[in-house]
A and B are shown apart, each in its own frame.
Chain A
Amino acid sequence: MLMLKESQIMKIHYISGVAALFVVAVHILIRLPVVTGMPFSMSLEYENVVANYQNIAYAVLLESMLVLIAIHGFNGLRIILLEFRQNIVWENGVTVFTLVAMIALIAYGTRTILIANGLG
């Protein structure tokens, strides 16, 4: 079982939330037609998206966005679920479920980036 103190988890929660806001803002700014030099609909075409994934800096940005939002979101879900019932089985179950779901989502998202780069 993860032996982090609740205050340590909440510190990660706050920091991941603020950091996610920053990376999402950067992501949105990069998607602006002024920056990409093409219409928004064209930037979402298959080749352009794959090209984005192949850009190392952009891939790092997307990966960090995925990790930060997954951590923040699943911890938020854990907090909500903890308040439904108060017993050890439920509490441990919720912690394991959210941890596994978070890792699964990050793994699936990372796989997409790897496949786009011909590594999958």
Chain B
Amino acid sequence: MIALVNIKNSRTNLEHDQKKESEIASNRKVIHLRVYRKNPKQGKSSHFDKFEVPVQRWTTVLDALLHAKGYLDNSIAIRYSCRMASCGSCGMKINGIPRLACYTKVSEIDENIITCEPLPNFPIIRDLVTDFSDFFEHHRAMEPFIHNPNADIVDKNSLTEFIQSPKDVERYLQSSYCIKCGLCYSACPSVGTDTKFPGPQALAQAYRYFADNRDDATQSRLDIVDTKHGIWRCHFAGSCSVVCPKGVDPALGIQLLRGHLVSFSKNDKKLAESRTRSLGKI
């Protein structure tokens, strides 16, 4: 009887070991990494290089790319920094979708071949590195700072306090999470056809400062986006909101700004402004 129990136990132990081994084996799978290669300075046509990279369940696409760069081909150009979706440097098109390489696990793609390409709608500097000059130019054009004459610090003793209720903050909080990674810009079909179109990121920032009740430049902000190639050229594809790694909804911000421009929306901000002023008088 005891011998029978022992045999049973050893069998279950064997099964357990085999299961563990297969789990480890499945964790250590090898994927094929296809990396877009182009060096405009050399004038050669673009091509894809294929690398076999060992990955585990927790390996990110950035880890896989760094493995390829570290052990297989050190000439691969990648831009990255924080490795935790905070800096927005490692944006690229992974299997056809703009994503952050550090925020995309190989296991979640669920394919054996992972194709990495540079972000569309950006000029290529080299391989996966793109030029963000136009993107930041559009961002700067939105004047991404608070305009308020009372906020100028001239005399440190007379610092002004701008009280905001949680509701006031809620109006723009989501848009302030933007890390300027450019994924929304690369996913936008309007940016692809119209080079003067500011793009979802810049327009979402325009909304962020417009909705901030500490800001006094309401009309000038609307004037900046109310141009031939401004906010009206958005066709509401919504892809910007889908690809955003920080959960920002630029498409919503654009529609809300449009509502204000055609006076269909109730101007909550104006109400907030007048409330602050009346509080100040008291």
Q: Which A residues lie at the B interface, using CB under 8 A?
A: 5-7, 10-11, 14, 79, 82-84, 86, 91
Q: How many angstroms from the CA of A11 to the CA of B260 in the assembled complex?
A: 12
Contacting residues, chain A, for B228 (C-beta < 8 A): 6, 82, 91
Contacting residues, chain B, for A83 (C-beta < 8 A): 190, 193-194, 233
Chain B residues 209-266 with CB under 8 Å of chain A are: 222, 226-230, 232-233, 261-262
Contacting residues, chain B, for A6 (C-beta < 8 A): 226-228, 230, 232
Q: Please tell me if the beta carbons of A10 and B262 are within 8 angstroms of each other in the complex.
A: yes
Contacting residues, chain B, for A14 (C-beta < 8 A): 262
List the A residue with the shortest CB-CB distance to B229: A86
Contacting residues, chain A, for B195 (C-beta < 8 A): 86
Q: Please tell me if the beta carbons of B232 and A10 are within 8 angstroms of each other in the complex.
A: yes
Q: How many angstroms from the CA of A5 to the CA of B193 in the assembled complex?
A: 22
> Which of A7, A79, A83 has the largest count of B CB atoms less than 10 A from its CB?
A7
**Is B196 an interface residue, CB under 8 A from the partner?**
yes
Contacting residues, chain A, for B232 (C-beta < 8 A): 6-7, 10, 79
Contacting residues, chain A, for B222 (C-beta < 8 A): 7
With A6-B227, A6-B228 given, is the CB distance from A86 to B262 under 8 Å? no
Of B194, B196, B262, the contact of A11 (CB 8 Å cutoff): B262
Q: How many angstroms from the CA of A91 to the CA of B230 in the assembled complex?
A: 13
Contacting residues, chain B, for A86 (C-beta < 8 A): 194-196, 229
Residue pairs across A and B with Cβ atoms less than 8 A apart, 7 shown, are A10-B232, A10-B261, A79-B233, A83-B233, A86-B195, A86-B196, A91-B228
Q: How many angstroms from the CA of A5 to the CA of B195 in the assembled complex?
A: 20
Q: How many angstroms from the CA of A79 to the CA of B262 in the assembled complex?
A: 17
Contacting residues, chain B, for A7 (C-beta < 8 A): 222, 226, 232, 261-262
List the B residue with the shortest CB-CB distance to A9: B232
State the Cβ distance, B258 to closest chain A Cβ, in Å: 8
List the B residue with the shortest CB-CB distance to A78: B228
Q: How many angstroms from the CA of A51 to the CA of B229 in the assembled complex?
A: 46
Q: Please tell me if the beta carbons of B229 and A82 are within 8 angstroms of each other in the complex.
A: yes
Q: How many angstroms from the CA of A82 to the CA of B193 in the assembled complex?
A: 10
State the Cβ distance, B60 to closest chain A Cβ, in Å: 37
Contacting residues, chain A, for B229 (C-beta < 8 A): 82, 86
Q: How many angstroms from the CA of A86 to the CA of B228 in the assembled complex?
A: 10
One digit per residue, 1 when the CB lies within 8 angstroms of any chain A CB and 0 when it does not, for chain B 166-203 equals 00000000000000000000000010011110000000
State the Cβ distance, B214 to closest chain A Cβ, in Å: 25
State the Cβ distance, A42 to closest chain B Cβ, in Å: 44
Q: How many angstroms from the CA of A5 to the CA of B261 in the assembled complex?
A: 10
